[in-house]
Amino acid sequence: MVIDATHDPSLVSWVESANDPAGDFPIQNLPFGRFREDGEGWRIGVAIGDEVLGLKSAGLVDSDDIAPLLAAPAATRRALRGALSEGLRRGSARETAWRRALRPRSGVELGLPCEIRAFTDFYTGIHHATAVGRLFRPDQPLLPNYKWVPIAYHARSSSILPSGGSFRRPRAQVKGPEAAAPCLMPTERLDYELELGIIIGSGNALGEPVSLEDAESRIFGLTLLNDWSARDVQAWEYQPLGPFLAKNFATTLSPWIVTLEALAPFREPFERPGGDPAPLAYLDSAENREAGVIGIDLGVWLETAQMRRKGEAAIRLSRSSYRDAYWTMAQLVAHHTVNGCNLETGDLLGTGTLSGPEPGQSGSMIELSAGGKQPIRLPNGESRAFVLDGDTVIFTAACRRDGFRRIGFGECRATVVEALRG
């Protein structure tokens, strides 16, 4: 990843809201997504401050189909980023023309950033895996393959929902530990999972693996992802084939793809803990060890129905970091394709729940509440062991580094409503 003039922290935009140092979308970011007005067709947009720039209206693309942009060569993407940076910086000759292509973000509908072709969910958060494993297997929290294989399962793409909406509490089979038989009921242990989503740009042909050295060239960028989970359903159904109805009812995705080009200043070395096995050769390289990590700070916020009624602000439940993931995004792509599996433009890879080693760094409520045994006490007097109807869960993320402008990911938010009766 190249650091160039588009990352210059002194750059300012003629879109004044982009110059707020606390904002997620300065001119150094320029994430891509889709928006529409009045129910019309989806258009490609770039977030800049509190605005969205329509790329076709600005004369930067010929079509509002985002797939060709995702699949474009890295050089083409860098050239587009350079043109956007040049045209949006203060003093640009394009200001007058491009102002007509701007829309307030608050006045448009934001959707999924692209059409999601397929969805694979990984399990790279070793602290989450250990904490949850300890609840079910105190003597062996991590299974023997965890430190050798990037664990994953193929998830459901049809139930991926755009940020800002709501979904119904799912019903499925549940069997309590003392019950003689299972019953069909709404989940009582609804949980969130704090993840990043990896958006695939250019795919690979069936039967042709992607090498670790080539893996990042196949990634367009990253989003926020909430892989909602029904823990009581999961406990009953997951053996022997893994997650099914506990996971496929809703996954929330943020609207903006932060590109790898924007994230270049925030690369960090990737190191395994001392004593852990070295990855197999196809999952190891000097480049991955030198800069395979991206320093992304993450947060989970909760707004209950009572808070909303009283006009109270959401409260933060936890914070964590992508630095603590056990596998890098390049390793996920290389492993996914090593058997010849073909990834396609618009495929989504979830990182798995990103928790840290400390109690306040949990990326799920099952960790925060110790499996529901220690409910979380909220400042307004409410408590939560799991997510209740009316709760809104909000994820945030940002990158910070001295000498560079802070960039953010926006929000990934969704509200839970009551299950269908019956």
Predicted local distance difference test score (pLDDT) of residue 136: 81
d(CA 101, CA 44): 11
Residues 141, 98 share a domain? no
Instruction: Say which residue the tokens 């909220």 belong to.
Output: 378
268 lies in a domain?
A: yes
Residues 170, 70 share a domain? no
pTM across the whole model: 0.97
317 lies in a domain?
A: yes
d(CA 336, CA 350): 12
422 lies in a domain?
A: no
Q: What percent of the chain has pLDDT over 90?
A: 95
99 lies in a domain?
A: yes
Cβ-based burial of 85 (10 A; exposed 0-12, middle 13-18, buried ≥19): buried
Residue 140 has pLDDT above 90, yes or no: no
Residues 128, 105 share a domain? no
Residues 188, 50 share a domain? no
Q: Classify each residue of 391-400 as buried b or exposed e, where b means 16 or more C-beta atoms within 10 Å of its C-beta.
A: bbbbbbbbbe
Mean pLDDT, rounded, of the chain = 97
Residues 157, 69 share a domain? no
Residue 123 has pLDDT above 90, yes or no: yes
Residues 330, 289 share a domain? yes
Helix locations, 171-324, DSSP H: 212-215, 231-237, 286-291, 305-310
d(CA 110, CA 6): 25
Residues 163, 197 share a domain? yes
Residues 147, 46 share a domain? no
d(CA 336, CA 218): 12
Residues 308, 410 share a domain? yes
CATH code of 55's domain: 2.30.30.230
Q: Which of 110, 145, 171 lies at the terminal end of a domain, its last residue?
A: 110
Predicted local distance difference test score (pLDDT) of residue 53: 98
Whether 128 sits among the annotated catalytic residues: the reply is: yes
Residues 171, 48 share a domain? no
236 lies in a domain?
A: yes
Q: Which of 57, 88, 110 lies at the terminal end of a domain, its last residue?
A: 110
37 lies in a domain?
A: yes
Q: Which of 58, 89, 110 lies at the terminal end of a domain, its last residue?
A: 110
- Give the domain range for residue 125: 119-417
Instruction: Say which residue the tokens 């892989």 belong to.
Output: 227
Number of domains in the chain: 2
CATH code of 155's domain: 3.90.850.10
- pLDDT-based confidence at 239, cuts 50/70/90? confident
- pLDDT-based confidence at 137, cuts 50/70/90? confident
d(CA 403, CA 168): 44
Residues 350, 371 share a domain? yes
Residue 412 has pLDDT above 80, yes or no: yes
Q: Per-residue pLDDT tens for 43-100?
A: 999 999 999 999 999 999 999 999 999 999 999 999 999 999 999 999 999 999 999 9
308 lies in a domain?
A: yes
Residue 39 has pLDDT above 90, yes or no: no
The catalytic residue among 128, 154, 335, 336 is 128
Q: Per-residue pLDDT tens for 344-387?
A: 999 999 999 999 999 899 999 999 999 999 999 999 999 999 99
Residues 144, 71 share a domain? no
